[in-house]
Structure 1
Amino acid sequence: MSAASTRVLDTARTGRGMVWVIAVMLFLTVLATASGIGTARATGAIGVRLGGRATVQIAAADPAQREQEAAAVAATLAGVAGIEQVRVVPRAEITQLLAPWLGGDAADVDLPIPAMVDLTLADTASAGRVRRVLATAAPGARLDLHSAALAPVRSFLAVLSALGLALVAMMLAATAFVVVLAARAGLEAHRGTIEVMHMLGATDVQVARLFQRRLSRDAALGAAVGGVAGLVTVALLGMQASALGSELLGSVTLGTLGWAVLMAMPFAFVALAATVARRAVVRSLGRML
């Protein structure tokens, strides 16, 4: 009776638009999840890479004095506890960084470019020791912490991660709602058949199982289409981001765990659809009959 009942229920295609709705929902959910995971990992990567980085700027008017002060500051800071690495940034390197904005003028020897000393700090407490040393050794020098400069970027990425998680939750809720509507539409389309099945001794649970099986097949088809499209899109976007050569965009990666989560999402959608369909049908049958 189960196979025959399934064929009878499948004769009406009411609600099969759910296949494409599920596909679109899963596609968008995969993109939102990838965005949330990627930005969360990028936020952590920025903190690890730049949390202990700092730069000392020396803006003396005389170029020779700038170079002498930079060398003296580097030698002094090299002996300070908590400073792991000290490096005087060559003028050629600074010129190369300024070239996109200044063009050929960046190489002008008369251009008053501050001398810079890059530092790698062991912890946040080291910044206070550096400031105290600079106040004595080079009163005109300025200490810039990279973490402070990029704090707004980290906050923005954190907001994007939270937004991605919120979108995933809304997509799951919308998917459950679509499944409920499809289940109710199927019940209305097959009301006469269900009544005959009840007269033949079928229970609400048996009828619900048939609808669950049919809706699960529809959800599986939609999940396959949307899942493949979403994973391919995420992979292509990742390749393009890596090809740009940007340090910030290059840190927006998913990692092994992130890809595992994305690949598990189609199965999660099918399980969600099957569970919601069964409960919706049982409740609706209780009201109908």
Structure 2
Amino acid sequence: MSGADRRVLDEAGGLRAMTWVMAIMLFLTILAAALGLGTRQSARALERQLAGRLTVQVVEGSPVVRDALAARTLAVLRALPDVRRATAVDRAELARLLEPWLGSAGADTDLPVPAMIDVDLASGADPDRIVAAVRRIGPASRVDRHQRWMSPVSGFLDTLTWLALGLVVLMLTATAAVVVLAARAGLETHRATIEVMHMLGSTDVQVARLFQRRIALDAAIGGAAGSAAALAMLVFLGTRLAALGSELLGGITLGAGDWAVLVLLPVAFVVLAMAAARMTIVGALRQSL
């Protein structure tokens, strides 16, 4: 932008405020987009994990019968081609899981705790065949599908993803509205100067280009500042999530494609600001001048 162009627009305080507005808008937009992308990745990881896992429970009051049925069930499961791995859950591990509710009584050998077997399915396996095979062993066995009882969590993550997408669209709309207001304010501030430029032969497109360049500069500076702050916040939140050690929250990660989308958001904002400014100024000039 030339010195003459800057002098035409430097008095437009509304345009200078665009730097701060764009920084705030882009900061919030990148955080919302990161939330949506992260929860989408987490939902996909959860679906992959749960779709291939089952838990078999052998419910029997007699410990001797229970252990015999559990051993037989484990042998049948390991022989099935649909099963990649079947592992009996150690009773000490079950007692540890029950300790918050039962206390030391969970370790009592006489306590009728069901035997449990974790099953990892092979690729393309049919869970119904495994359920049928387990039920043929005896009515004391039941199969729990992880995907079924974790579906509310997956649905909640999908809801968060769509909510984040809605926030991004809302922020884009709000940014375009702010640019329109700033462009109209600059147009009113410099109306006398624009009339002189028209008398000297300047076209509406040439005048609009001045505003477009200035708004693009403000949007670029504000976008860079907002993006840097948002990315720094994401890195900080990522380290905190990793420190939690939670498998579910640890799945909220961003892939290379997700980071590329976040990096391209500032460019999209600048293009949006330029387009909104150009259409606003050209439209207003054609109507009033």
**1:152 shift after superposition:** 1.1
Cross-structure match for 1:13 = 13
**1:138 shift after superposition:** 2.0
**5 Å matches for 1:71-220?**
71-122=71-122, 126-220=126-220
For each residue in 1:18-51, what CA deviation from the matched residue of structure 2 results, as whole angstroms up to 9, or x when unmatched? 2222111111111110011111111110111121
Q: Distance in 2 between matches of 1:39 and 1:248?
A: 10
The answer to whether the 8 Å contact 1:58/1:66 transfers is yes
Q: Given the two structures, how large is their TM-score scaled by the length of structure 2?
A: 0.94
Worse-matched range after superposition: 88-97 or 42-51: 88-97
**1:207 shift after superposition:** 0.8
Q: Distance in 1 between matches of 2:41 and 2:67?
A: 39
Q: CA RMSD of the aligned region, Å?
A: 1.7
**1:271 shift after superposition:** 1.4
Cross-structure match for 1:282 = 282
**1:125 shift after superposition:** 5.8
**1:264 shift after superposition:** 1.4
Paired letter, 1:92: A
Q: Report SS of the residue matched to 1:4.
A: helix
Q: Distance in 1 between matches of 2:173 and 2:192?
A: 31
Q: Report SS of the residue matched to 1:17.
A: helix
Paired letter, 2:51: G
Worse-matched range after superposition: 142-151 or 10-19: 10-19
**1:225 shift after superposition:** 1.7
Cross-structure match for 1:45 = 45
Q: Distance in 1 between matches of 2:68 and 2:280?
A: 78
The answer to whether the 8 Å contact 1:73/1:138 transfers is no
Cross-structure match for 2:245 = 245
The answer to whether the 8 Å contact 1:52/1:124 transfers is no
Runs of 4+ in 1 over 6 A off after TM superposition: none
Q: Distance in 2 between matches of 1:6 and 1:287?
A: 25
**1:251 shift after superposition:** 0.6
Paired letter, 2:178: V
Q: Report SS of the residue matched to 1:111.
A: coil
Unaligned runs of 5+ in 1: none
Cross-structure match for 1:56 = 56
Q: Distance in 2 between matches of 1:106 and 1:28?
A: 48
Q: Distance in 2 between matches of 1:185 and 1:27?
A: 24
**1:2 shift after superposition:** 5.5
Worse-matched range after superposition: 246-255 or 76-85: 76-85
Q: Distance in 2 between matches of 1:44 and 1:138?
A: 35
Cross-structure match for 1:225 = 225
Paired letter, 1:89: V
Paired letter, 1:233: M
Unaligned runs of 5+ in 2: none
Paired letter, 1:137: I
Cross-structure match for 1:25 = 25
Cross-structure match for 1:65 = 65
Q: Report SS of the residue matched to 2:79.
A: coil
The percent identity for this pair of structures is: 51
**1:124 shift after superposition:** 7.2
For each residue in 1:47-96, what CA deviation from the matched residue of structure 2 results, as whole angstroms up to 9, or x when unmatched? 11121100110121122322221111101222223112111111112222
Q: Distance in 2 between matches of 1:270 and 1:101?
A: 56
Q: Report SS of the residue matched to 1:164.
A: helix
Q: Distance in 2 between matches of 1:202 and 1:136?
A: 87
Paired letter, 1:93: E
Worse-matched range after superposition: 119-128 or 203-212: 119-128
Q: Given the two structures, how large is their TM-score scaled by the length of structure 1?
A: 0.94
For each residue in 1:153-177, what CA deviation from the matched residue of structure 2 results, as whole angstroms up to 9, or x when unmatched? 1111111111111111111111111
